[in-house]
Amino acid sequence: MSEAISILEGGLTLFAPRFPNYPEIGELHGQLSLLLFAQDKYEDAAKHARPALEITEKHFGRRSILTAHRLLRLGAALAGLGQPATALPALREAYDILGEMNQDAAQAEAGFYMDLCVLSNSRDEQSITAIEDNLLANLARMTKGYGGGTMLVTLATAQHTRLVHAAIEKDFHIGEGLLKQHLKVLAAASVTGDGGAEAAVATYKLATLYYANDMLAAAVGRVQEAALLARRHADAGDLEMLCQHRMGMVLAARGDTRQAKKLLEKTLAAYAEMGKQSGAAGMLAKEAEIGLSMCRFFDFLPLGSDAVHAALDELTKKIQELGQSIGQSHMLVQGATKYLGQFYKAASK
């Protein structure tokens, strides 16, 4: 894709000064906008979407199919920039024109991005649920017209992923609502009908969200679902080990130390080795150490205060180390801190 972008940029550099405002120049800008959007370079995508729209409108008129597609690309880029109020007028206009022209899949795409703009302003679970039927209906029309797993469908669902990631760290209920919705989005857009490897990842994230918010029974169920999906889809990568790690953390938090230690000793060894090359693996190794410290707390609990407080001091230190690595506000640090507080209360009884 980077090579294609370089070729298009070279074409603009060469031809735009010679043939300013020609429709072919608008097409070059439009193609660049789409590829830059695919690389999450939303500002650059918008920068090219604007001249693409201006040139196309000049040659073909405001109500043409080509102009509608340019409006759609501009609206999508602005939505990606987190500017829903600016994106919506372009998307609404594209939606209306494409409807008049019987461009069903493209109209549904504009509708889907409009739904995403509304979702980006969600303040509670009800506002997420209220738009879900419309969101999924637009996605179904897109998938029928473009095909499941095609570029435009994948780009649209990736924008829903972006909303999920933004919400998870800010608000549990909105993050949970969007993650559950995301599983439906992935299933609707996939060729397999179950969301594929991406659904396995999303289910794992939901399990992690439950773990971090002291919903351990719900976390167990979602980890098991994620592991099942991971085994079904070879392209899920290392997700099976991640599921073992998360299950170990859940079991450690609820005091099931025997099974937790088996899982976490295994994942600690693996992630400590991977951590020499990967920061993410290093973070997971630190979290595994937290889980093993939790196990020591429960194992020492019957032995008296000295052993228990030594275990709590160790756990505190491990949580501080993780916080220094990924930030004190990170969901996993906040979750571990929550469990630490519970353990101190249990130790004081």
pLDDT per position as a tens digit, 133-168: 999 999 999 999 999 889 999 999 999 999 999 999
The Cα 253–Cα 269 span in angstroms is 20
> 167-171, 238-242, 301-305, 327-331 — which is least confidently predicted?
301-305
The Cα 305–Cα 313 span in angstroms is 12
The Cα 251–Cα 253 span in angstroms is 5
* Sign of CA pseudo-dihedral 172, 178, 179, 181: positive
**How many Å is the Cα radius of gyration of the chain?**
24
How far apart, in Å, are the Cα atoms of 8 and each of 27, 29, 67, 260? 10, 8, 20, 53
Mean pLDDT, to the nearest integer, of 94-110?
97
The Cα 66–Cα 54 span in angstroms is 11
The Cα 185–Cα 167 span in angstroms is 16
33 contacts: CB under 8 Å, gap ≥ 6 = 45, 46, 48, 49, 52, 73, 74, 77
Q: What share of the chain in percent tops pLDDT 90?
A: 81
270: three-class secondary structure by DSSP: helix
| Burial bucket for residue 302 (CB in 10 Å: 0-12, 13-18, 19+) | exposed
Residue-wise pLDDT tens digits, 276-325 = 667 788 999 999 999 999 999 999 988 777 889 999 999 999 999 999 99
Query: 103: phi > 0 → left, psi -120 to 50 → alpha, else beta; which?
Result: beta
Query: Helices 239-253 and 279-300 sit at what angle, rounded to 10 degrees?
Result: 30
Place of tokens 């020492």: 300
Please say if the pLDDT value at position 200 is more than 80. Answer: yes
For residue 176, what pLDDT is reported?
97
Cβ–Cβ under 8 Å, residues 200 and 229: yes
